Structure 1
Amino acid sequence: MDYARFNYIAQPEDKGVALFPNIGIYDKYAISWGYRPILDKSAKAEKDILNSWILEHAGDPMYRFGHQQVGDVVDPSSQTEDLGDDAILASAYGIKNLKRIVPKLIEWTTKDGYDYKDLKNMYGHVISQFNRYMGHVSNNIGGVYEDYKTADQEGAVYTHVDKAHQKNCLSFINKQLFNTPEWLIDTNIFNKIEYSGSVERVRSMQARTLNNILSLGKMARMIENESLNGNNAYTLTEMMRDLRNGIWSELNTGINIDTYRRNLQRAYIDRLEYLMTAETPKSPSSNSSYNKFTPVNTSQSDIRAVVRAELNTLKRLINSRLGGRDSMSRIHLKDAVERINIILDPQ
């Protein structure tokens, strides 16, 4: 079962696809299970029949129901506003559609005698939708599938997301978001809706997803995954290396670092600073099953040790690759080293 307001993966060449939600297989199944009469049976016999109806469709994703999750998204296969069983593929299709929309926004939202209020509003919705795609993908990193079962059903209830898929999700984020999404930077739109804000908007989008990836819960689950599954796990150290190689790729290529990337790199350092001092999170006061919470003692887990190692590695890389850049790139990199020094040796 999927929940989304519209079919964002549909492409112009697709034929016969529904663009908006209809009554589907799961809806009919749920209605039948809840309201279909079971006559002349005892309460126990009725329960056995109801259970048999569930078991008939066990393992079929069309009949699966997953909890909505509040706070930390643990199970990436049960997210609101997403479609399909592959967040990378679905989000790639969604981004293709957004790229078709942006060049047409002025034409579609304006008319003579009216201002650009609708243009500003709809551009904001494009940003929001893009953020949803980044969330759908990034929540696979450190994710754990939750497949409800009764004791008479075989298989695990909780399964860590496959290593290769987690790694591919981070690669997707690096490519689609951390590499500046220039298709969203349209000066012809900006000069009609705002006097400033475009640079800050990109920084905010990138920092939001970065902070989601580097959340205490996700990092704790990655540590536990490695302890349980060894080489089959996408480890925290491997993820941090892949993240650094994406966000700080200019250290390997030698090219100059532009405004958007400088902001992202500072956001990265700021997040590592937070992780070095973050207090142990408190469990939510509500006992609702919608609330997902991963317990972790931040001072005694591997999180701070891994973050400290990353800061030292990044510092060495920057110091060894300062040359051959424009003035602003050198200023930025020297500032980054000073920021790292303060984090590692606070006075």
Structure 2
Amino acid sequence: MINTLLHGGYKPILDKTALEEKTILDQWILEKAGDPVYRFGRQQFGVVDHTSQTEDLGDDSMRASTYGIKNLQRIIPNLGKWTGKEGENFDNLETMYGQVLGQYNRYMGHVTGNIGGVKETYKAYGQEGAVYEHASRDKQTRAMQFLQKELFSTPEWLIDQDIFNKFESDGAIERIRSTQVRTLNNLLDFGRMARLMENEEVNGTSAYGLLEMMQDLRKGIFSELSKGQTIDRYRRNLQRAYVERLEFIMNNEQPRSRFGGSSIDVEQSDIRPIVRAELKQLRSDAKRSIGRTRDQLSKIHLEDLVERIDLILDPK
């Protein structure tokens, strides 16, 4: 395999012992070290290495996914015209819309992998540098900004009633909720939290730590609260999902995985103190916002959030 990758085909090494052949192969590898064209990344079932993700091309997931979304936004308005045939039903339209949504989800996963991401570069004795390197602060903060803009702010372009009314009586609200919550829960994963804390311990103030990530996430998902703005139905669903996920973190340990990945003792870590602090801050913000908003459903929603948080922090 090494022979094939480095020299473009099978090339025998003649008249050499096994030890001599290994020395030659090692030299070939060293010659290509640092060249991303020849870098090998192992298959991941739970993404840790943000630079080695399935169907993620390039070296910047945020930029690549931005371009990808622009293409999807061109597809949606033309989907009916491009998939329909005279006299046929709308099954193909439904299928292709699902494919667009699936690709959008894939982009969200690629970007999420950058938060708490750790690059793995195979090395052996004699090669300089670390095998494991945490993603830069810039890359992680840009990933959070991307998710807030492209996913957690309601993706209106995906909500096209001219498409939905051809193949379903309802489902748009639930579809968007499911899409957002899938990434939210992935972001608030115990292993990811463990790596964010590890990064902060190793790299200090230059790291994007767990507390900062949690604060950025809350401020983005609940951005309406500071100005008493109306909270639309999609955002209300997302905000309830956020509180529900924090409740899960407060009451559960990390599930065991046969695929490995980062592990942590949640009870004895900083995770729950940080989550508790975020819940308290959110409760305080929600209480203040109740008096600011004029929208009745937003007011009811905020009152409900306060009661939910009360039950999490003080179970009866």
Question: 1:306 is matched with which residue: 270, 274, 277?
Answer: 274
Conservation of the 8 A alpha-carbon contact between 2:240 and 2:305: yes
Output the TM-score relative to the length of structure 2: 0.97
Match of 2:122 among 145, 148, 163: 148
Aligned length: 315
CA contact (8 A) 2:226 2:285 kept: no
Q: Could you tell me how far apart the structure 1 residues matched to 2:49 and 2:211 are? A: 22
Q: Which residue of 1 aligns with 2:172?
A: 198
Q: 1:1-347 alignment to 2 at 5 Å?
A: 29-30=4-5, 32=7, 35-70=10-45, 72-284=46-258, 291-323=259-291, 324-347=293-316
Q: Give the partner amino acid of 1:58.
A: A
Q: Cα offset for 1:52?
A: 1.0
Structure 2 counterpart SS, 1:321 = helix
Q: In the TM superposition, what whole-angstrom CA distance separates every residue of 1:44-80 from its partner, at most 9, and x where no partner exists?
A: 111111111111110011110100101x210010000
| Counterpart contact for 1:283–1:295, Cα < 8 Å | no
Structure 1, unmatched stretches of 5+, are 1-25, 285-290
- Distance apart, 1:206 and its partner CA: 0.5
* Deviates further, 155-164 or 35-44: 35-44
> What fraction of aligned residue pairs are identical, expressed as a percent?
57
8 Å Cα contact 1:109-1:119 kept in structure 2: yes
Question: What is the identity, as a one-letter code, of the residue corresponding to 2:76?
Answer: V
Q: Distance in 1 between matches of 2:290 and 2:6?
A: 65
Query: Residue 196 of structure 1: SS of its match in structure 2?
Result: coil
| Cα displacement (A) at 1:29 | 4.8
Task: For residue 283 of structure 1, report the CA deviation from its aligned partner.
Answer: 4.8
Shift of 1:81: 1.1
In 2, Cα distance between equivalents of 1:305 and 1:150? 39
Q: What's the counterpart of residue 16 of structure 1?
A: none
Alpha-carbon distance, 1:280 to partner: 3.8
Which stretches of structure 1, 4 residues or more, deviate above 6 A after TM superposition? none
Which digits, 9 at most, give the CA deviation of each residue in 1:80-107, with x for residues without a partner? 0111000000000000000010011000
SS at 1:239 equivalent: helix
Contact 2:199/2:209 (8 A) holds in 1: yes
Query: In 2 relative to 1, CA 137–27 (structure 1 residues): closer, same or farther, beyond 3 Å?
Result: farther
- Structure 2: stretches of 5+ with no match in the other structure: none
Whether contact under 8 Å (2:177, 2:237) holds in the other structure is yes
* Conserved 8 A contact 1:315-1:337: yes
Tell me by how many angstroms 1:232 deviates: 1.1
Amino acid aligned to 1:37 = P
Query: Does the aligned pair in 2 maintain the 1:280–1:299 contact within 8 Å?
Result: no
**CA–CA distance in 2 between the matches of 1:143 and 1:195?**
41
Decide which structure has greater helix share. 2
Query: Which amino acid letter does the alignment assign opposite residue 337 of structure 1?
Result: V
Distance 1:133 1:283 in 2: 24
Distance 2:114 2:34 in 1: 20
Distance 2:2 2:144 in 1: 34
**Hey, what's the Cα distance between the residues in 2 that align with 1:330 and 1:257?**
9
How big is the shift at 1:321? 1.6
Instruction: Give me the whole-angstrom Cα distance separating, in 2, the residues matched to 1:274 and 1:236.
Output: 17
Query: Relative to structure 1, is the Cα distance of residues 90 and 331 closer, same or farther in structure 2, using a 3 angstrom cutoff?
Result: same
Secondary structure of residue in 1 paired with 2:119: strand
Cα distance in 2 between the residues matched to 1:99 and 1:57: 39
Contact in 1 for aligned 2:118/2:134 (Cα 8 Å)? yes
Distance (Å, rounded) in 2 between the aligned partners of 1:148 and 1:220: 22
| In 2: Cα distance, 1:325 partner to 1:268 partner | 23
Give the CA deviation at 1:198. Answer: 0.3
In structure 1, what is the Cα distance between the partners aligned to 2:206 and 2:149?
Answer: 24
Contact 2:4/2:10 (8 A) holds in 1:
no
Q: Cα gap change, 1:179/1:105 in structure 2, threshold over 3 Å: closer, same or farther?
A: same
What residue in structure 2 maps to residue 11 of structure 1?
none
SS at match of 2:239: helix
